[in-house]
Amino acid sequence: MRLVERDDELAALGDMLRHAAGGRGGVTVVSGGIGSGKTELLDVVREQATDAGFLTLRATGSWAERHSPGSVLGQLPRYAGALADESDVLAQALRRVGSIRSDADGGAFERWPLDPATTAALHQLSTEVVRISEQAPVLLCVDDIQYADALSLHWILQLVRVLRTSSIALVVAECTLSNSVHPHLHAELLRHPNYRRLDLGNLSPDGVTEVLADHTDAARAAGLGAECHRVTGGNPLLVRALVEDQRHSTTLSDTAPELVVGDGYADTVLSCLHRGRTPALQLAQVLAVLDGPDPGMQLATRLLEQEPAVVDQCGAALEEAGLIADGRLRHPVARAAVLRNLSPYLRRDLHRRAAELLYKDGASAVRIAPHLLGAEHDLESWAPAILREAAERYLAGNRAADAHACLDAALSASQDDGERVALKAQLAGTAWVLNPSISARHLGDLASALRDGRLPDRHALMLAKHLLWHGRFEEAVEAIERMGERADPDPSNDAEIRATRELLSSTYPPLVHSAVLAVPSAPGPAPVRRADGDARIRGAAALTRVLTGGPSTAAADDAEAAMRELRLGKNTQEWIMCAVAALQFADRFDAAGSWCDHWLAEARARNVPLWEAEFASMRAGILLRQGDLESARRLSETALAKVSAKSWGVCLGGPLANLVQAATEMGDFEAAEEYLEVPVLDGMFSTRFGLYFLHARGRFHLETGRPYAALDDFSACAELMRGWGFDQPALVPWRSESARAHLALGDRDRAHALAREEFLLLGPDRTRSRGITLRVLAATGDPADQVGRLTRAAEILQESGDRLQAAGALADLGRAHRETGRPSRARPVLELAARLAERSGAKPLTAAVACDLAEIGRRGVRAAGDRAERAAAVGRLSGAERRVAALAARGHTNREIAEKLCITVSTVEQHLTRVFRKIGVRARRELPAEIVLDMAE
């Protein structure tokens, strides 16, 4: 066995053995905390002694047998072996010791009334061991001496008195975490001239690394050494437990070593604690419950109801054993293990008593609250106020889950009806950011409290927004109207009402017709003054202006300016989303994506699931408009994984629409159909999120060959958007989508009328919507205009950053070039379309473009043969025929040709007749280009 950082101790023990072999017996006390390596050190000494010819005897004290007389001495026959048979006196003495009555008081051996026979047996045993040592030196090792029974300690004292002139070495090991051995033994040992005490300290960081290196490679050991030392304090037993945890772990990485703290470590911590003194175990349990640094030790002393000196001694022993540091258990795994080992009743009682003591001491609410939560039941009357204060502190620190737990406990403990209403409102608002469905169970009670005048004004707007989210529009409107009817409205709520009006008018448009949210007769909200001090109002108003008036540089600038002033919080998050949406619908995709990424990172850092889900869904919508289907689908799935579909309420249309549209464009129609089967609230279609859903579902129907169903969805979009005053293609291009459906039905005129209407609505700006509309116009309008319109559409869509729509326009342009007999122009356009479509993840479009390119290849082969035949035919023309044909191919009329060549028009007609017959064409537009090139040469 190889011991690390124990060279000095082994050398001292080796000296003791050499002296004992020379007739100068000695005694050594090995002292250390649990797991410090005392037993391993004794094992190595025994091996060395055996190799040196010693008779080695070993015994180990036991907590369970500490009151059983002779329990240590009774272990000696196992090691005496044949010598016991040779010495009848030794065997008789051992038998005599074993027959001593077991009910003797083993607590104080100095007062123990030993009978003469027992005294004689012990004396005979000592004499016989000394006699045996004259034949061969003897090493007696007693481990865990602190648990030795009184009778065995009495005999050890007798033996110590004769050690100095014998060949006997005595090594005893004691644990500092347990009760010390009796002071009489220590006093007797100190009198011995060859006495030595060895204090085993814990391993240094280098020592821990050396132990790890024995079980893994040097690089991993070096990478884990410091962290392993921090977790174990250098306790060798705990270090070996971590070695086993690493060995059984399946998450090891050669490139980035990470310490695995598992069951082996947890079990070893419990083993160490249960082998120690009872007060030490109790102290560890209290520290696990308190889980805090000093003055946690002071509170622990009061909870234990022990003398401070006892607690200090146990604390020092636990720290020496590497179990605690700075008044707390060294690792969360250790704390969890100790708490699991506590009975539920004892754990709750410790929490309750800790909360009471802290409350009397005037401790902060956030320090008291965890113990009130741990107590669970029978809270005092002061508890709800403390829990509410702690919840406010937690919310300020972005710890919504902790705040919700405090408010929930406060509501359970409160007996005051007015307090309970306020708590329910706070609880609903806090639960909202975690999971909106959790707050739903309180909305009915809160709505009743508002009607009865029991709900404070500051909670009414929050209640209205939550009711809207869950599709309870009538109750929401009633809540807002009741606020407006207050006889003594709170002036501080004016800003909140104005900000809420802007928010709701852009997200829940039907509410703009209610009495409370009524807006001017002109579409959209009243103009917002740039000097308005509330950035939330400017951000929401920017979105409304884009929805009612189309993309606007001023609106986009306002949205960005507002976000630069805002900080993410429960009173700003919805307005921030409006500002990002304003950038999205204004075709500021790069800016919208950058801002959305920023807020998404903030939401993740604050660990607010709802915010993270909403910003992830919004980012997916931006990515869809940039043609990144795979990323959009992945983020939308993340949004629904973070917050379940049921909890999205009427806003479910956002992530669902993203998923349906992305899957449709990717050709995964089966997945798109599954997304469409997710139940949605009817109220969703009273929000702009319902428009997204209808548009995505219509696209799915159109791509899967159901144009009538598609028209139903696009017509529904038209009705809603016109009714809300949001009839802008930047939001949903329902006219161009309907035009595609009419084309699929063969109604080209209706398709063209819709596309033309949308084109006129857009204005002159080169927006993404304009590019989409030009593409549809090209498909529905005059074929002569097709190439020009598609060229402009492709340029605009590439500028806007939508690579999917740009790929579609380029594919249409390539086909147009191909159909007009210009394959040399079609090929590069189609190749670019193929690259963009593949980058977008649009498999159907990629496959269609690949077919177009293949067709061009096949036509190119046929064209090569045709050119050879035409060249031969051109060679058979006379000079006069060639000159006439060349001018005709350049577009000159017969009269112009006659004037240029100084011949009659009739002669021109005759020449052309012969040219057509020889080359095999029927009109001058079919004349081959080779004629023109031939004449140029």
Of the candidate ranges 87-96, 605-614, 731-740, 777-786, the one whose mean pLDDT is the lowest: 87-96
Residue 115, domain member (yes or no): yes
Residue 708, domain member (yes or no): no
pLDDT reported for residue 525: 44
Mean of the pLDDT values across residues 723-748? 93
Which positions ≥6 away from 137 have C-beta within 8 Å? 17, 20, 21, 49, 52, 53, 54, 55, 167, 168, 169
Residue 356's closest CA among 414, 307, 306, 299? Answer: 299
11 and 127 together in one domain:
yes
Is-above-0.85 flag for pTM?
Answer: no
List, in sequence order, every beta strand (DSSP E) within 576-670. none
Q: Is the pLDDT of residue 655 over 90?
A: yes
107 and 222 together in one domain:
no
Confidence class for position 521, pLDDT limits 50, 70, 90: very low
| pLDDT (tens digit per residue) in 149-166 | 888 888 888 888 888 889
Among 299, 325, 342, give the residue marking a domain's end. 342
Which residues is 138 bridged to in the sheet? 55, 168
Among 442, 471, 489, give the residue marking a domain's end. 489
Residue 323, domain member (yes or no): yes
- What letter represents residue 193's amino acid? P
368 and 471 together in one domain:
no
444 and 498 together in one domain:
no
pLDDT reported for residue 861: 44
Residue 865, domain member (yes or no): no
247 and 268 together in one domain:
no
Q: Which structural domain range is residue 404 located in?
A: 343-410
For the chain, state the CA radius of gyration: 45
Confidence class for position 82, pLDDT limits 50, 70, 90: very low
pLDDT reported for residue 514: 52
Give the chain's mean pLDDT.
85
Confidence class for position 385, pLDDT limits 50, 70, 90: very high
Q: Which two tokens stand for residue 480?
A: 């807002």
Q: How far apart are CA 737 and CA 718, in angstroms?
A: 11
Of the candidate ranges 455-464, 635-644, 728-737, the one whose mean pLDDT is the lowest: 455-464
Mean of the pLDDT values across residues 282-288? 91
Residue 624, domain member (yes or no): no
Most confident of 203-217, 281-295, 468-482: 203-217
| pLDDT (tens digit per residue) in 420-478 | 888 888 888 888 888 888 878 888 888 888 777 788 767 777 888 888 888 888 788 77
| pLDDT (tens digit per residue) in 127-147 | 888 888 888 999 999 998 888
- What letter represents residue 654's amino acid? G
Element (H, E) at 588: none
Mean of the pLDDT values across residues 807-834? 88
Q: How far apart are CA 697 and CA 684, in angstroms?
A: 14
Q: Is the pLDDT of residue 539 over 90?
A: yes
291: alpha, beta or left? (left if phi > 0; alpha if psi -120 to 50): left
Residue 686, domain member (yes or no): no
Can you give 545-576 as a three-state secondary structure string? HHHHHCCCHHHHHHHHHHHHHCCCCCCCHHHH
With 0-12 / 13-18 / 19 or more C-beta atoms within 10 angstroms meaning exposed / middle / buried, residue 216 is middle
Mean of the pLDDT values across residues 866-892? 78
503 and 432 together in one domain:
no
pLDDT reported for residue 140: 93
292 and 155 together in one domain:
no
Cβ(927)–Cβ(891) under 8 Å?
Answer: no
Confidence class for position 382, pLDDT limits 50, 70, 90: very high
pLDDT reported for residue 112: 52
How many domains, the chain? 7
Q: Is the pLDDT of residue 35 over 90?
A: no
Q: How far apart are CA 436 and CA 647, in angstroms?
A: 5
392 and 524 together in one domain:
no
Among 388, 410, 432, give the residue marking a domain's end. 410
Residue 277, domain member (yes or no): yes
Q: Which two tokens stand for residue 193?
A: 């001239």
With 0-12 / 13-18 / 19 or more C-beta atoms within 10 angstroms meaning exposed / middle / buried, residue 896 is middle
What is the pairing mode between strands 328-329 and 324-325? antiparallel
Q: Which two tokens stand for residue 124?
A: 């005979």
426 and 566 together in one domain:
no
249 and 383 together in one domain:
no
CA–CA distances in Å: residue 609 to residues 503, 600, 615:
21, 10, 10
Confidence class for position 505, pLDDT limits 50, 70, 90: confident
Q: What is the CATH classification number for the domain harbouring 909?
A: 1.10.10.10
For residue 579, the SS3 value is helix
477 and 534 together in one domain:
no
16 and 104 together in one domain:
yes
Cβ(189)–Cβ(29) under 8 Å?
Answer: yes
Q: Which two tokens stand for residue 769?
A: 């919507």
Cβ(666)–Cβ(843) under 8 Å?
Answer: yes
Q: What percent of the chain has pLDDT over 90?
A: 45
Residue 656, domain member (yes or no): no
